[in-house]
Amino acid sequence: MQIQPVDLRKIDEQASNVYEAIIVSAKEARRINEEQRLEYNLQVNTIPSKGLEDDSEDMDNPDQLKVSLEFEKRPKPHLQALNELLDGKIEFRYKTKDTNER
């Protein structure tokens, strides 16, 4: 896996400062991760189990392995969120005092 540096000036264009951009990107990454986790669990739960019901690692389920490998090939949530931020696809705003009181 090759590390690709990110130009901080590009991040700085999307928010008032880099720290704000990191917070926004991290929250988006958590949201993406949660969606992927739910999707993975849904797909794994539809796969019929074979053999015993215990959680032994000795038996491999090829269908479950296939689903797991598919999810591992996807881009990581933090990279997806950072790319969305750099592309301007994430909208965010500050909470105002009025919205906190509601």
DSSP code string of 21-71: HHHHHHHHHHHHHHHHHHHHHHHHHTSPP-S-SS--SSS--HHHHHHHHHH
Residue of higher predicted confidence among 8 and 40: 40
pLDDT of residue 80: 95
- pTM, two decimal places: 0.76
pLDDT of residue 57: 55
pLDDT at 59 exceeding the cut of 50: yes
pLDDT of residue 29: 97
The residues spanned by each domain of the chain are 8-46+61-90
pLDDT at 58 exceeding the cut of 50: no
pLDDT of residue 62: 87
In this structure, what token pair is assigned to residue 92? 């965010």
Residue 92 gets which letter from DSSP? Answer: -
**Region 5-22 average pLDDT:** 88
With a pLDDT cut of 90, the percent of the chain lying above it is 47
**Region 29-50 average pLDDT:** 92
